[in-house]
Structure 1
Amino acid sequence: MASKANNQNWREKLHEIIYEADTPAGKLFDVILLIVIVASILIVMLESIKGFGTRHYNILNWAEWIITILFSLEYVARIICVKKPFKYIFSFYGIIDFLSTVPKYISFFFGGIHALAALRALRLLRVFRILKLARYLGASKNLVNALKASKAKIFVFLFVVLIVSIILGTIMYMVEGEENGFTNIPKSVYWCIVTLTTVGFGDIAPQTPLGQFIASLVMILGYGIIAVPTGIVSAEYTSQKNKDTSVPDVNLNTQSCSNCSAGNHRDNAEYCYNCGYKLNHG
């Protein structure tokens, strides 16, 4: 019984360190993990530089192997300290952790694939746990609701922009002609969209005075058009925010359930909202 209790205790302690950022040990672990991830990405970048990667190949290769082994140990530790390992393995972070670990092993048999280790950049998403940005999920929900509520208006706006682009593109095709790069109407419409959105690749440019005058109007019109969808979404967002004024703010933390791996629990929560398992408080 004592050995079973000790086994349970070290698993719970390991879970607290790896999966939670509210405790000093958990926060330190995540900070070190992020530093190692950034270092690994920099190594992959340096290896891709001709000359530098060749001169320092042995150092970079050994550093990459050390980091890969550390990530492998971390991946195994994450599986060991949860009661339902497949829940983590097939979760978003579990898949990302696996994909960011295996490229170096595969490159041992097939050269060049280790560059896929840049996938580790996705693991930087764990910074949200350290900064406790989960408390802003309510604001993101309002933004999503605002986009959904304004989708009809935005669709009408985009439809009008498309019609304007077709009309102006056709006019530019007639004014400039093939000799100035406007070889057909679709290409002229492409120029109009690029100009209207203020991107301006410069691969096609009007040469005639009338064409340049029309292009100037399109550019000015583009600045005005940019503000329209912003205003639509902002108005809907304000409306959604006003609807939620009666709902009290709820602070969420990085507490992770060791049974089902559910996160984003309320502060001071004693039990998991998903499975009812008692939470560990460090």
Structure 2
Amino acid sequence: MASNTWQDKIHEIIYEADTPAGKLFDLALIASIILSVIAIMLDSIPSINAVHGTLLYKIEWAFTIAFTIEYILRIVCIKRPKSYIFSFLGIIDLLSILPTYLGLLITGQGHYLAIVRLLRVLRIFRILKLAQYLKEASILVTALHASKRKIFVFFCTVIVLVTILGSIMYIVESPTNPVFKSIPHSIYWAIVTITTVGYGDMAPITNLGRFIASIVMLLGYAIIAVPSGIVTSELTQAVKNQFTNTKSCPNCAHDSHEHDAIHCKVCGHKL
């Protein structure tokens, strides 16, 4: 029984944004995240690193250890740890501490990947009770999830298209243009052109090649509208009956429920 008491208390502090202790904890967490990201950015500046590198290294480790303890507490204070571990925020929390530890095993600048912990600031929407933003974020995630198969088909179609176009450009340009030295290089050109990026490092010099390039450029503008239309359609559908609040389930930590919800819509546990 004692175990449940301390777990419930930790859950209230860490997961709940409605209580004074929970709000204070989340505000302190966000401040720590921002300070740790600033320390990482400063460490990447050679002149600052040369003078304060050791201090910044210690600061980074201090924040990493604190975030590690917090991550462990988030796991032990809920009854279904996997629901948090494999959630979006759970994965971000883990990724935010791994780079520093990997830096002990792998030399280089991999520890700068800890900058991903800035994503944890997304919790500010719960803390400040910006319910309208939570609602919009939930709608967007729902729409993207519903669109994933259509987007996948569209992506596969584009891959086939740039492969064919790249191969055609290789046939047309390679005899006179050394830039198009292989089909993979030509596919790279097709991707850059059809996405309207246009780096300019590869360009056709034959009249036929330029004609094909013009078609690919115009095709690129037409293609851009497709994924936008897919997501917009799903967004319209996802707008219906979307309600969220900050009430967190003590069993699985899910925190998107209707305002009058009594039980968790994911695991059925009483809220």
TM-score norm. by structure 1 comes to 0.69
d(CA) in 1 for partners of 2:211, 2:202: 15
What is the CA deviation profile of residues 97-125 of structure 1, one whole-angstrom value per residue up to 9, with x for unaligned ones? 34534655676788767545334234344
**1:183 aligns to what?**
181
**1:121 aligns to what?**
118
Match of 1:267 among 259, 268, 271: 259
Cα distance change of structure 1 residues 126 and 170 upon mapping to structure 2, 3 Å threshold: same
**1:195 aligns to what?**
193
Residue 56 of structure 1 and its aligned partner are, at CA, apart by 0.8
1:63 aligns with 2:59: yes
**2:14 aligns to what?**
18
Residue 256 of structure 1 and its aligned partner are, at CA, apart by 1.6
Residue 53 of structure 1 and its aligned partner are, at CA, apart by 0.9
Amino acid at match of 2:243: N
Is the 8 Å Cα contact of residues 165 and 193 (structure 1) preserved in structure 2? no
Cα distance change of structure 1 residues 191 and 11 upon mapping to structure 2, 3 Å threshold: closer
Matched-pair identity in %:
45
d(CA) in 2 for partners of 1:21, 1:11: 16
Structure 1 stretch displaced more, 252-261 or 134-143: 134-143
d(CA) in 1 for partners of 2:87, 2:152: 31
Match of 2:93 among 88, 94, 97: 97
Is the 8 Å Cα contact of residues 126 and 246 (structure 2) preserved in structure 1? yes
What is the CA deviation profile of residues 155-203 of structure 1, one whole-angstrom value per residue up to 9, with x for unaligned ones? 7953783476157515642xx7334523345544542342232121222
d(CA) in 2 for partners of 1:147, 1:32: 36
Gaps of 5+ in 2: none
d(CA) in 1 for partners of 2:204, 2:187: 13
TM-score norm. by structure 2 comes to 0.72
Cα distance change of structure 1 residues 94 and 197 upon mapping to structure 2, 3 Å threshold: closer
d(CA) in 1 for partners of 2:105, 2:64: 15
Cα distance change of structure 1 residues 225 and 86 upon mapping to structure 2, 3 Å threshold: closer
d(CA) in 1 for partners of 2:166, 2:101: 52
d(CA) in 2 for partners of 1:170, 1:108: 46
Amino acid at match of 2:118: A
Residue 41 of structure 1 and its aligned partner are, at CA, apart by 2.0
Amino acid at match of 1:141: T
**1:224 aligns to what?**
222
1:226 aligned counterpart, secondary structure: helix
1:237 aligns with 2:229: no
Amino acid at match of 1:117: A
RMSD (Å), alpha carbons: 4.1
**1:165 aligns to what?**
165
Is the 8 Å Cα contact of residues 170 and 181 (structure 2) preserved in structure 1? no
d(CA) in 2 for partners of 1:155, 1:99: 27
- How many residues were matched structurally? 266
Is the 8 Å Cα contact of residues 172 and 182 (structure 1) preserved in structure 2? no
Cα distance change of structure 1 residues 83 and 165 upon mapping to structure 2, 3 Å threshold: closer
Structure 1 stretch displaced more, 208-217 or 24-33: 208-217
1:178 aligned counterpart, secondary structure: coil
Larger Rg: 1
d(CA) in 2 for partners of 1:102, 1:228: 37
2:78 aligned counterpart, secondary structure: coil
Is the 8 Å Cα contact of residues 178 and 184 (structure 1) preserved in structure 2? no
